[in-house]
Amino acid sequence: LTCTVGATIKRNEVTGEIFIARVIHGGLADRSGLLHAGDRIIEVNGFPVDGMEPEQVIQVVQVRSQGTIMFKVVPITERPVHNQTMLYVRSMADYSPQQDPSIPCADAGMSFRKGDVLEIVDQTDALWWQAKKLPSNTDCAGLIPSTNLLRRKQRDFWWAQPYQPHACVQTLEFSLCFYSTLTEVSTVDEEEDMMAIDEKCLEADEEAFESEELREEEDDFTSSIEGIYLTGFRRSMRLCRRHFHSTTQPTCHTRCPSSCHSALNSPYEEVVRYQRQPQDPHRLIALLGPSSVGVNELRRRLIEMNPNVFQGALAYTTRAPKSYEESGREYFFTSREVFDNMVYNNRFLEYGEYKGNLYGTSIESVREVLNRGKICVIDIEPNAIQAVRTHELKAYIIYVKPPPLEHLRETRQDSCITTNYYVNRPFKGDDFQEMEEAARKMESHFSQFFDHVIVNDGLQDSCAQLLTAARKAQDEPQWVPASWIRPTVDS
């Protein structure tokens, strides 16, 4: 009945009467305006349907799949009042009606993936809403679980899992409220990764290790182009970020409660179309991707090619300045006391420790770039996603994805990476595999927050894509969390 007429039916088990259970938005029944939820069906194409099983009724309808289908109905006397307000949401979970035994009619269901934007067209039913996936090329809506129902499914799914120490990693898409647990698990994973690296280093050719070992002093990854110093590319800051400490939880509580809470607790995040006005500050561009995928190469090239438009954010450090360094150029050099105070006051988007010194990217550093009318481009670890998704920064998150393995091998033949132990060592086969694995994890946990994805295959093409995306983020309407536009009292 759903496909042909655009309605679902139900049977009163006591009386055997058949009723319209719901009318699918945009379907034939809805467009005809003749059938409504609650109408009692007496006859279909002249056949009395009282006492029939719903499947039999459907067969009667399908016999006449073309031409006119005649319904004799007793209309519902009191139609529910539809005071629908337009609602758009970004899905924070995957859903497949074919794998959901509780859906009233799987054919009427609509599947969606994390990050999809859905237009909710009907919320009259407490359990099953009707929605369209955007951009939509169909008039007909599909059934999706309501927020409460999906949340309940997530909870049940969570509790139904046998105990596995890492279970929260696999089930994050179902239960973002376990975010803090995930953070701990990721750290453990990272420590394990670190151990793997240690072993590899022990196996490594000692001579090569010695000659390429990280030197104590800090070099820039990049040279400064004429007259312009590229901020935000210092090596220690980047290495430190691999051992990041996220400020996610405290930051969330104080800086972005509405957007964080909605993202963490609700399977749907309400979104609105946002068009930045020319007088508004630029949206922050935040790049993320698995280590060595090319986030900083792309970021550097973008800034180098358009230094008057784009700029990185200067990091803070408690490290003592070297003779040639100036506060406000390589870093903001600061005391540990001041740094701790900034941490306490949630002033960092992310911060961490490297070789006994603290490093961090502050909100003020980003603000300073924005106040100059430039577009701030930073790279972040996934744990900083919530800290940049705020009413003020309105981060546009670009995920840099590795291309397939063969392409990685081909394109990175002459490229080098800096690891915790080596500077500029050529890529090895294992690096590519690790990158792919890290990418898979990152995507499965965080893809719902990606505004744009760049597959970093050919460097030139990726650079062009980044420039286009960074411009689009500023100039074209985008879906953003509704809380950014209608901030609550405490955001």
Ligand X SMILES: Nc1ncnc2c1ncn2[C@@H]1O[C@H](COP(=O)(O)OP(=O)(O)OP(=O)(O)O)[C@@H](O)[C@H]1O
Residues at the site binding ligand X, with contacts judged by CB under 6 A: 238, 289, 291-297, 411-412, 415-417, 456, 459, 462
Smallest CA-to-CA distance from 190 within 434, 436, 386, 357 is with 434
Distance CA(366)–CA(378), nearest Å, equals: 8
> Which CB atom, from 27 or from 289, has the smaller least distance to ligand X?
289
Helix (H, G, I), strand (E, B) or coil at 243: coil
Structure tokens at 40: 């009692």
Structure tokens at 231: 């901020």
CB 34 → ligand X: shortest distance, Å? 58
CB of 280 within 8 A of CB of 392?
no
Q: How many residues does the chain have?
A: 491
Structure tokens at 38: 């609650």
Smallest CA-to-CA distance from 128 within 140, 109, 144 is with 144
Distance CA(305)–CA(299), nearest Å, equals: 10
Which residues of 251-303 form beta strands (DSSP E)?
268-274, 285-288
> Which CB atom, from 41 or from 239, has the smaller least distance to ligand X?
239
CB 463 → ligand X: shortest distance, Å? 9
State the Cα angle at 466 between 463 and 420, rounded to 5°: 75
CB 398 → ligand X: shortest distance, Å? 12
> Which CB atom, from 133 or from 238, has the smaller least distance to ligand X?
238
> Which CB atom, from 203 or from 414, has the smaller least distance to ligand X?
414
Distance CA(82)–CA(78), nearest Å, equals: 12
CB 330 → ligand X: shortest distance, Å? 17
> Which CB atom, from 59 or from 420, has the smaller least distance to ligand X?
420
CB 291 → ligand X: shortest distance, Å? 4
Classify residue 329 by its DSSP letter: T
Structure tokens at 160: 């139904």
> Which CB atom, from 152 or from 242, has the smaller least distance to ligand X?
242
> Which CB atom, from 274 or from 421, has the smaller least distance to ligand X?
421
CB of 422 within 8 A of CB of 204?
no
CB 298 → ligand X: shortest distance, Å? 7
CB 177 → ligand X: shortest distance, Å? 29
CB 455 → ligand X: shortest distance, Å? 9
CB 309 → ligand X: shortest distance, Å? 20
Q: Which residues contact 186 (CB under 8 A, 6 or more apart)?
A: 169, 383
Which run of H or E residues covers position 358? Answer: strand 357-362
CB 367 → ligand X: shortest distance, Å? 23
In sequence order, the β-bridge partners of residue 366 are: none
Residue 264 has a CB neighbour count (10 Å cut-off) of: 18
Distances (CA, A) of 382 to 72, 187, 255, 377, 388: 58, 12, 17, 15, 10
Burial of 65 (0-12, 13-18, 19+ CB in 10 A): exposed
- Residue at shortest CB range from ligand X: 294
Smallest CA-to-CA distance from 298 within 409, 407, 402 is with 402
CB 423 → ligand X: shortest distance, Å? 11
> Which CB atom, from 294 or from 312, has the smaller least distance to ligand X?
294
> Which CB atom, from 415 or from 447, has the smaller least distance to ligand X?
415
CB 235 → ligand X: shortest distance, Å? 9
β-bridge pairing 357-362 and 315-317: antiparallel
> Which CB atom, from 265 or from 415, has the smaller least distance to ligand X?
415
> Which CB atom, from 36 or from 235, has the smaller least distance to ligand X?
235
> Which CB atom, from 153 or from 407, has the smaller least distance to ligand X?
407
β-bridge pairing 71-74 and 87-91: unpaired
